[in-house]
Amino acid sequence: MIQKHPRRRVLQLGLAAATLALGAPALAATRIRWDDLIPPGVAYGEIIGLGSQDFERDVWLPEFDENGLALNMALDGTDVTIAGFMIPLDLLAGGVTDFVLVPFVGACIHVPPPPPNQLIFVTAQRPWPRSNLWEALLVTGRLRANLHTTQIAQTGYELDAVQIEPFVR
């Protein structure tokens, strides 16, 4: 069968490819909340440990027990979308490429870091052009349960971000 409008089909395919190239996620992600990162059976109130004050450096050194380090392995390797706040780690001229996603404003900066199972180390495929710490973001990508140490905190998860956008409630 001869196609009557081959240019139209080429145009449609080109537009579809351009849409994917501009960052439309090619994955079906599950929307999760921060408490989903805690394994089933562990109460949220049981993930915070004690700590101690380092008076020389004037910082609080949190200590986390096995509940704060426990990861939800059911989420390992899944495509997720989660809202949070950015703590930039790697800021290039084009924007932020590596950051820690935290559940509330000021975490790791103005207060001691949350437990590792409440922090996500994010690597952006494309730099996020903003570095406003007070802006809530919606981040989508493949989540891996993996303890990772950064200069500001130990994270329990890593996420390869395919899409980052402002969070609008």
- Given a contact cutoff of 8 angstroms between Cβ atoms, the answer to whether 161 and 86 are in contact is no
Alpha helices (runs of H) in 22-145, residue ranges in sequence order: 66-69
Choose the weakest-confidence range: 4-18, 35-49, 99-113. Answer: 4-18
Q: How confident is the model at residue 43, as a pLDDT?
A: 83
Q: Helix, strand or coil for residue 7?
A: helix
Render pLDDT for 75-96 as a digit per residue (tens, 0 to 9): 999 999 999 999 999 888 889 9
Residue bearing the bigger pLDDT, 79 or 112: 79
CA distances from 61 to 19, 43, 83, 89, 155 (A): 46, 22, 26, 20, 15
Rounded to an integer, the average pLDDT of 70-77 is: 97
- Given a contact cutoff of 8 angstroms between Cβ atoms, the answer to whether 27 and 162 are in contact is yes
Domains of the chain in start order, with CATH, are 25-40+71-166 (2.40.50.870)
Q: Name the pLDDT band for 165 (thresholds 50, 70, 90).
A: very high
